[in-house]
Amino acid sequence: MLRLKPGREKSLRHRHPWIFSGAIATAEAPREPGDTVDVLSADGAFIARAAYSPASQIRARVWTFDPREPVDAEFFARRVARAVAARAPMQDAEHTGCRLIHGESDGLPGVVADRYADTVVLQLSSAGAERWRDAIVAALVGATAAACVFERSDAEVRKLEGLPPRIGVAHGTLPAAVTFAEDRLVYRADVVAGQKTGFYLDQRANRAAVRTLAAGRETLNAFCYTGGFTLAALAGGATRVVSIDSSADAIALGRENLARNPALPADRAEWCEADAFAELRKLRDRGAGFDLAVLDPPKFAPTAAHAERAARAYKDVNLLALKLLRPGGLLATFSCSGGIDASLFRKIVAGAALDAGVDASVIGRFGAGADHPVALAFPEGDYLKGLLIRKAS
């Protein structure tokens, strides 16, 4: 049982799922990490049932606000089945990559699951999720009939929960190559050692958008990872795509992904393993020009505390990209930093245009796809934002 300090139940009344250590008056000891606890207001009223995490500043994460709902294996079977069912309309034979469980926004704090065809990659990142691992794996197998559930519980945030990393098969057999379809293209996800669960599924709709914009355009794809936007641009008719990433493994898989799609013109692709900041400067100094640029840098600001330094990095890279664009050129620019909201991001890009001496307009906005829902009570889930910018002709 956790009893809150007076007045500290407000965010929970608004259905926000996190309870910070500073809000707790008394915690009944001793407690094992991940144990289920009832959360009471200062005057003893039931507010929620949550997973206790003694090592974390987020001391508890809510499983349910319903006093009659027990947290047991059936609870996870219900929540997992609900999340998986909601994604059914988002998948077909040409789209077999999909996020199935998106943590807090699916009522499953600390649980992420991504489907790549017959393989589901599971990422557990909280003490509560860890405690219910077996029930979650069983629920996933039941809801998806996946041939393999592979666990990639190695996100940095596990350290904050006092959890060691765990990587390995949780069910079935891992195929030699995990491949999946997106928009009639084939990709391989490196589920064992790649970033996130192996692929950035959150950009699926935005890759489709870039595909519709790319015809006849010389394209720059900075922070390309394994070539998602590269293949999309080539499929859309880009005349040339220059792809930059600092990770040799990512570039190698990008080349492999291109080779897996023999209908695409591989001779139009140039891959460059380099620091994108340095490489964009080099391109600028050489007088290079592009008609379309995609900028999808890593999370420079995981939290608001990093926002200032991150803002400089975003501005720098957007300024360079805007300079590299020809008149009438398009820039699809993204930020996946939780610490930078859409309004701040727009200001940063506006500052970049101003300093570049470029006249430009916002002609579109991007976010994560429908398989990455954002619960209205959990605005922290709204991490991915993007702008489509047109440079004046």
Stretch of 77-85, 95-103, 140-148, 274-282 contacting ligand SAH, by CB under 6 A: 274-282
Please list every residue from 42 through 81 that binds ligand SAH, using CB under 6 A: none
Residue 72 CB contacts under 8 Å (≥ 6 apart), including other chains: 135
Kindly tell me which residue out of 65, 225, 345, 378 binds ligand SAH, with binding defined by CB under 6 A. Answer: 225
Which pair of tokens denotes residue 244?
A: 């930059």
β-bridge partners, 120: 115, 149
Would you count residue 200 as binding ligand SAH (CB under 6 A)? yes
Stretch of 16-24, 75-83, 139-147, 244-252 contacting ligand SAH, by CB under 6 A: 244-252
Cis peptide before 373 (omega within 30 of 0): no
Would you count residue 228 as binding ligand SAH (CB under 6 A)? yes
Cis peptide before 30 (omega within 30 of 0): yes
Would you count residue 276 as binding ligand SAH (CB under 6 A)? yes
Residue 351 CB, nearest approach to ligand SAH (Å): 20
Kindly tell me which residue out of 11, 91, 239, 247 binds ligand SAH, with binding defined by CB under 6 A. Answer: 247
How many residues in total does the chain contain?
Answer: 393
Would you count residue 250 as binding ligand SAH (CB under 6 A)? yes
Q: Is 336 considered catalytic here?
A: yes
Residue-by-residue DSSP string for 97-113:
EEEEEEGGGGT-TTEEE
Residue 265 CB, nearest approach to ligand SAH (Å): 20
- Of 177, 182, 176, 131, the C-alpha closest to 153 is 131
Q: Residue written as tokens 């259905």?
A: 15
Distance CA 68, CA 350 (A): 51
Q: Which is nearer to ligand SAH, 3 or 299 (CB)?
A: 299
Burial per residue of 176-189, b for 16 or more beta-carbon CB atoms within 10 angstroms, e otherwise: eebbbbbbebebbb
Stretch of 65-73, 103-111, 159-167, 245-253 contacting ligand SAH, by CB under 6 A: 245-253
Tell me which residues touch ligand SAH (CB under 6 A): 195, 200, 203, 223-226, 228-229, 244-247, 250, 275-277, 296-298
Question: What amino acid positions are annotated as catalytic residues?
Answer: 336
